[in-house]
Amino acid sequence: MSHSIRKIIFPLGGMGTRLLPATKSVAKEMLPILDIPLLQYAIDEAVNSGFEELIFVTGTNRSVLEDYLSPSPKLNTLLEEKGKQGLLNKLHEILPPSIKATFVDQPDPKGLGHAVWCAREHVAGENFAVILTDDLIVSETPCLKQMIEALQPNMNAVVAAMEVADADVNKYGIFDTNHQDGRCSYACDIVEKPSPTNAPSRLAAVGRYILTPAVLNAIESLKPGAGGEIQLTDAIAASTNDHSLCAYRFEGTRYDCGSKEGILEATLSLALEDENLKAIVEKVVASRKAA
């Protein structure tokens, strides 16, 4: 069933501590995979999934993000004078003129649930989405678009899901599922960062959420959860039942770009899809083998 969901929240107030020292002065969402910032991959996915308003929840990095998303007349003129139309087109595509950008402050990074709560006035009464920029998902059909198509009237939440190794369950929200219908596993609960012995499954939530006002309302009464933060997964668990939470096993490949290992894997994988860059990667690998 197709649903019109217009607004999507980008929580961007995190400190990016796993990527220090780079993130001491560079917002983690601005770190590039090849020549494209992680933020741009997320924007492109949202736009290509039909969203009309992008809500950026920011901390101290707001000015950097506003500069990136705003036109740069001086740079545009320079590129025009040098005849670099291809680069100029890329700048125009950063944020299409038909898309509305809204900025919301998150004074203190109190968790993902708190970031969503900070944007409550902009999504009140509507279904909305949340995207985490450090989860890069490469797929033929945008992951968010897949999830929107999976949303049914009885659902309060559709959350992107994937199987993870035993050693990694304590890094994720883990679903307690009861039955599966196609790519959707219906879940009766989601537990934030359990130990492997207490985890109800190995099916983990990753950074894409389609949510209804019921989830937003639940955040209001939440107490701090795992890590002393207001957890979005706790709000989802509090507002759903056996048939209203869909753990959606998306089509595509996900890269955890909140870690240097994930950034490296994503960079190499995307480089191998470009013939010129693929030749460079193969050259480096060959030279290492010969050494």
Is residue 288 pLDDT above 60, yes or no?
A: yes
Question: Region 235-239: what's the mean pLDDT?
Answer: 88
3-state SS class at 240: coil
Distance CA 266, CA 217 (A): 36
- Report strand pairing: 245-249 vs 157-163: parallel
Lowest mean pLDDT among 15-19, 70-74, 76-80: 15-19
DSSP letter, residue 2 = -
Greater model confidence, 27 or 14:
27
The answer for residues whose C-beta is within 8 angstroms of residue 73's C-beta and 6 or more apart is: none
Q: How confident is the model at residue 2 (pLDDT cuts 50, 70, 90)?
A: very low
Distance CA 78, CA 180 (A): 55
- Asked if residues 122 and 216 have their Cβ atoms less than 8 Å apart, the reply is no
| Structural domain boundaries in the chain | 7-258, 260-291
Is residue 95 pLDDT above 50, yes or no?
A: yes
Query: Letter for the amino acid at 190?
Result: I
Angle subtended at Cα 113 by Cα 109 and Cα 118, rounded to the nearest 5 degrees: 70
Query: Letter for the amino acid at 217?
Result: N
Check residue 3 and give its pLDDT. 54
- Topology of 7-258 in CATH? Spore Coat Polysaccharide Biosynthesis Protein SpsA; Chain A (3.90.550)
Question: Region 270-281: what's the mean pLDDT?
Answer: 94
Check residue 1 and give its pLDDT. 37
Q: How confident is the model at residue 242 (pLDDT cuts 50, 70, 90)?
A: low
Peptide bond into 21 cis (omega under 30): yes
Residue 98's CB is within 10 A of a number of other CB atoms, namely: 7
Tens digit of each residue's pLDDT (9 = 90 or more) over 111-155: 899 999 999 999 988 999 999 999 999 999 999 999 999 998 888
DSSP letter, residue 223 = P
Looking at every residue in the chain, the average pLDDT score rounds to: 90
- Asked if residues 17 and 62 have their Cβ atoms less than 8 Å apart, the reply is no
